[in-house]
Amino acid sequence: MTIDEAIAHAREKAEQNRNRALHFNTVKCIKCAEEHDQLADWLTHLKEYQQLEEQGRLLKLPCKVGDTVWDIDYGIPFACTITAFSFGECDEDTVYYAQPDGENNYSSPEELIESEFSDLVIDEEESDDDER
């Protein structure tokens, strides 16, 4: 059964249940018709997503607004909160997030820091001297 056939079947069952409800005046048939309509709507929505995916137009973002990601500024990692996504220019406060090419997937920011900066040793005394 294709998705189009499933949508048509759900719409047909909804119509049959509406007709039954008219003849037998039952709430059960009305509820069943509404459920079949809802199923057809969901399947239609799913079909739209499938078509977008087939066309290469479905974008799966690596994170959502509100997520914390890590940025590296002058070799120092720091946490940023995603406030917006844009496909063009953003204001200066917008954080851009680039998904690794699939070879480096980190389960936590700490894992990223350990992986990327394992050879970097910060001498706290030296950094205190620089601040003075």
Q: pTM of the prediction?
A: 0.53
Give the C-alpha separation, 11 to 35, whole Å.
10
Please write the tens of the pLDDT for every residue from 46-61: 999 999 999 988 877 7
Q: Is the pLDDT of residue 104 over 50?
A: no
Q: In the prediction, which pLDDT does 99 show?
A: 42
Q: What value does the mean pLDDT take over residues 38-49?
A: 96
Q: What is the per-residue pLDDT for 74? A: 80
- Residues 15-35: tens digit of each pLDDT: 999 999 988 878 888 999 999
pLDDT at 8 over 70: yes
Check whether 36 has a pLDDT greater than 60. yes
pLDDT at 66: 86
